[in-house]
Amino acid sequence: MPDCVFCAIASGAIPADLVAETDTTLAFRDLDPKADVHVLVIPRAHFDNLGAVAAADPATAAAMITTAAGVAAAEGVADSGYRLIANTGAGGGQTVFHAHLHLLAGSRLPGF
Ligand code: AMP
Ligand code: ZN
């Protein structure tokens, strides 16, 4: 997708601090971290949001969650706990319209 920053990361056109990759997903550190651990997990292919991934390619949606769980283990937060967030649409706080999961962990996260 032209002008999509996460497509540019997936193609290698712009750099990212990669922490994991699979055939269908990539994980890299957020440029502006909101927690001690803040990693983004994306599908390599462009979808506008997580719901669109699940509708079109449920295996890739599941792979995003599995990749996130693997990153949590690698970061040492699988046991202490972590949060997965998928902001969807402008009203949900989404600013990059390529599907992604935020993996947040570290010091205790605030409740809702
Ligand atoms: P959202 O607001 O849910 O769409 O989240 C988009 C996230 O992408 C934000 O937390 C940004 O800090 C992050 N972000 C934007 N551009 C980049 C980039 N080039 N590399 C890493 N993270 C980025
Ligand atoms: Zn994209």
Is there a domain that residue 111 lies in?
no
Q: How far apart are CA 52 and CA 84, in angstroms?
A: 17
What residues make up the domain containing 55? 5-105
Counted domains in the chain: 1
- Token readout for 25 is 């997903």
Give distance in angstroms: CA of 96 to centre of ligand 1: 6
Is there a domain that residue 32 lies in?
yes
Task: Confirm whether 100 is a catalytic residue.
Answer: yes
Q: Which of 40, 50, 102 to mutate to test the pocket of ligand 1 (most atoms within 8 A of CB)?
A: 40
Whole-prediction pTM value?
Answer: 0.98
Which one of the ligands is nearest to 53 CA?
2
List the CATH number of the domain containing 34.
3.30.428.10
Confidence category of residue 108, pLDDT binned at 50, 70, 90 = confident
Q: Which of 87, 109, 106, 108 is nearest to 98 (CA)?
A: 87
28 exposed, middle or buried (CB, 10 Å; 0-12, 13-18, 19+)?
Answer: buried
| Model pLDDT for residues 21-59, shown as the tens digit of each residue | 999 999 999 999 999 999 999 999 999 999 999 999 999
Mean pLDDT of 80-86: 97
